[in-house]
């Protein structure tokens, strides 16, 4: 039985809500024990005594406002979910309430109590989800070098290669898709190459037009071109005896490739408009998402420069090829994101983690960080919700046979809707999004024999979302568990 604390100074409404919730049963027994309070001070005292699971808290109380006591209420009754109720539609107060940690903010008078029932049920489910997630430790024993996280064989091999590279001053070429962390690898190599701090200077070769990139790389003398009002040292000069990191070097023009080749060969360069030779003391690390062998074949990249750069080559695996590292990455990134956005979303339910592992991650670790950042910002508490994550695409579901926690799910002979398995020539046969969603939910419920937990895992949605969709589409629930 869950304890429900209702705080309101309207005695008739208080009594009505108390009777309503006391009449609700679950498995033949009362679902709620209801306690009440009419003032803020009384509410805080009762909360400390009974430790409610959910608090329905009126905004306007005789002694204080609900907003005033929400922090105290949260500290007194631990992980209880607090639902603020108000008779006023005030956007600013709504924002302040959610920022203060309210689970939800609803308005009265209630047209009926169904909406309130749903919110209370969601609050309880979220609390249970939070407690379950607390037992799941997503941090695994990770081999970390700086901010590199991962225990997969691919990452273990990469770490070994980094260790060998850091012991030399050889030029390094890092290959990897966008978002795999090429600059991070370059920084780790740099940090482990020197016993004392040295400059690490990076430049994105694709982000600056050619006319300015030469000046950025090599610097310029006063009067070298219009606007050059003073001597400016370039990135190669600023790197001193540290590291110069040339990101996206595959996008560099052929003209600048020729100049860079000469610098690497002679280990000297001049500023634009200058004649003084400056020694290149820095180590060069380059990176690209392009296949430079193909670029050389197409005439877009100089073969002699490619040979100069690939003294040591590191290949970064895409995230989809090291899915075992995703749980560790999630934990690692959540720490950083929480600090950045000033929140404390620390719990990841197992079904949410499974959903994250199954996503395609075409944008790799950068996309994972962006997705987690959005989910953290939108999370109403300390639990990461699948509602705020991208949905799995149909090809990821593999027509109902996509993996759940690493295990395939089969349709067991159940026929799939035509729109999932066969080309449709007649446009009139293409279902609407709602029709397609309903059919997919019905199919998944059939495959899982009505098991809502498994259905949520396969569809990549939360339990409350599934409940709302089942009700919306009128899906039969007589065989669900």
Please write the tens of the pLDDT for every residue from 296-323.
Answer: 999 999 999 999 999 999 999 999 999 9
pLDDT at residue 198, as a whole number: 86
Alpha-carbon gap, residue 47 to 58, rounded angstroms: 14
Domain count, the chain: 4
Say yes or no: 76 and 158 in one domain: no
Say yes or no: 375 and 403 in one domain: no
Say yes or no: 354 and 380 in one domain: yes
Domain with 357 in it: 323-390
Cα torsion angle, 140, 144, 149, 152, sign: negative
CA-based nearest residue to 435, from 398, 473, 475, 396: 473
In a domain, 289, yes or no: yes
Alpha-carbon gap, residue 85 to 6, rounded angstroms: 10
Say yes or no: 7 and 104 in one domain: yes
CA-based nearest residue to 3, from 26, 33, 23: 33
Say yes or no: 23 and 119 in one domain: yes
Say yes or no: 184 and 309 in one domain: yes
Alpha-carbon gap, residue 308 to 129, rounded angstroms: 55
pLDDT at residue 205, as a whole number: 92
Indicate the residue among 316, 345, 360 that finishes a domain.
Answer: 316
> Between vectors from CA 424 to CA 418 and to CA 425, what angle results, nearest 5°?
155
In this prediction, residue 168 has a pLDDT band, given cuts at 50, 70 and 90, of: confident
Indicate the residue among 316, 348, 367 that finishes a domain.
Answer: 316
pLDDT at residue 217, as a whole number: 94
Asked if 190 and 285 touch (Cβ cutoff 8 Å), the reply is yes
Cα torsion angle, 62, 67, 69, 74, sign: positive
The model's pTM: 0.64
In a domain, 60, yes or no: yes
Q: Is the pLDDT of residue 423 over 70?
A: no
Asked if 61 and 89 touch (Cβ cutoff 8 Å), the reply is no
pLDDT at residue 394, as a whole number: 47
Alpha-carbon gap, residue 121 to 119, rounded angstroms: 5
Say yes or no: 223 and 298 in one domain: yes
Alpha-carbon gap, residue 33 to 21, rounded angstroms: 8
Say yes or no: 194 and 256 in one domain: yes
pLDDT at residue 107, as a whole number: 84
Q: Is the N-terminal amide bond of 423 cis, ω within 30° of 0?
A: no
- Of residues 139 and 349, more confidence is placed in 349
Say yes or no: 381 and 449 in one domain: no
Say yes or no: 234 and 377 in one domain: no
Alpha-carbon gap, residue 321 to 360, rounded angstroms: 10
Indicate the residue among 336, 371, 390 that finishes a domain.
Answer: 390
pLDDT at residue 255, as a whole number: 93
In a domain, 141, yes or no: no
Instruction: CATH number of the domain at 254, please.
Output: 3.40.50.300
In this prediction, residue 135 has a pLDDT band, given cuts at 50, 70 and 90, of: very low
In a domain, 86, yes or no: yes
E strand segments, 141-209:
172-175, 200-204
Say yes or no: 76 and 6 in one domain: yes
Question: Mean pLDDT across the chain, nearest whole number?
Answer: 83
Instruction: CATH number of the domain at 109, please.
Output: 3.40.50.2300
């Amino acid at each position: 039985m869950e304890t429900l604390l209702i705080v309101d100074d309207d005695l008739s409404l208080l009594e009505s809500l108390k009777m309503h919730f006391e009449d609700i049963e679950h498995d033949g027994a009362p679902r709620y024990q209801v306690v009440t309070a009419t003032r803020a001070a009384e509410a805080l005292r009762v909360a400390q005594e009974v430790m409610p699971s959910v608090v329905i808290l009126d905004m306007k109380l005789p002694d204080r406002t609900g907003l005033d006591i929400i922090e105290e209420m949260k500290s007194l009754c631990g992980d209880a979910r607090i639902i603020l109720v108000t008779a006023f539609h005030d956007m600013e107060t709504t924002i302040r309430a959610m920022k203060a940690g309210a689970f939800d903010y609803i308005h009265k008078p209630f047209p009926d109590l169904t909406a309130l029932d749903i919110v209370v049920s969601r609050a309880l489910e979220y609390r249970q989800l939070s407690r379950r997630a607390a037992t799941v430790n997503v941090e695994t024993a990770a081999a970390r070098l700086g901010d590199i996280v991962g225990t997969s064989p691919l990452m273990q091999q990469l770490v070994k290669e980094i260790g060998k590279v850091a012991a030399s001053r050889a030029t390094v070429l890092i290959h990897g898709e966008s978002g795999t962390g090429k600059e991070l690898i370059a920084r780790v190599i740099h940090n482990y190459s020197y016993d004392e701090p040295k400059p690490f200077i990076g430049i994105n070769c694709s982000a600056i037009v050619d006319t300015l990139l030469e000046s950025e790389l090599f610097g310029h003398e006063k009067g070298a071109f219009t606007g050059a009002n003073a001597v400016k040292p370039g990135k190669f000069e600023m790197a001193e005896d540290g590291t110069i990191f040339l990101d996206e070097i595959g996008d560099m023009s052929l003209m600048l490739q020729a100049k860079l080749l000469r610098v690497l060969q002679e280990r000297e360069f001049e500023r634009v408009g200058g004649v003084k030779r400056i020694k290149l003391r820095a180590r060069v690390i380059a990176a690209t998402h392009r296949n430079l062998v193909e670029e050389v074949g197409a005439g877009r990249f100089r073969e002699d420069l490619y040979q100069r750069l690939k003294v040591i080559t590191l290949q970064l695996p895409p995230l989809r090829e090291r899915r075992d590292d995703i749980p560790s990455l999630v934990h690692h990134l959540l720490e950083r994101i929480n600090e950045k956005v000033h929140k404390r979303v620390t719990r990841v339910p197992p079904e949410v983690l499974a959903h994250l592992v199954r996503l395609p991650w075409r944008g790799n670790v950068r996309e994972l960080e962006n997705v987690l950042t959005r989910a953290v910002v939108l999370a109403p508490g300390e639990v990461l919700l699948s509602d705020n994550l991208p949905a799995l695409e149909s090809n990821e579901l593999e027509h109902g046979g996509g993996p759940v926690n690493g295990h395939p799910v089969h349709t067991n002979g159940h026929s799939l809707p035509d729109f999932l398995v066969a080309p449709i020539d007649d446009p009139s046969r293409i279902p609407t999004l709602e029709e397609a969603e309903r059919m997919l939910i019905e199919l998944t419920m059939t495959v899982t024999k009505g098991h809502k937990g498994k259905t949520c895992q396969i569809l990549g949605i939360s339990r409350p979302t599934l409940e709302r969709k089942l009700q919306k589409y009128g899906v039969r629930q007589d065989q669900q568990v």
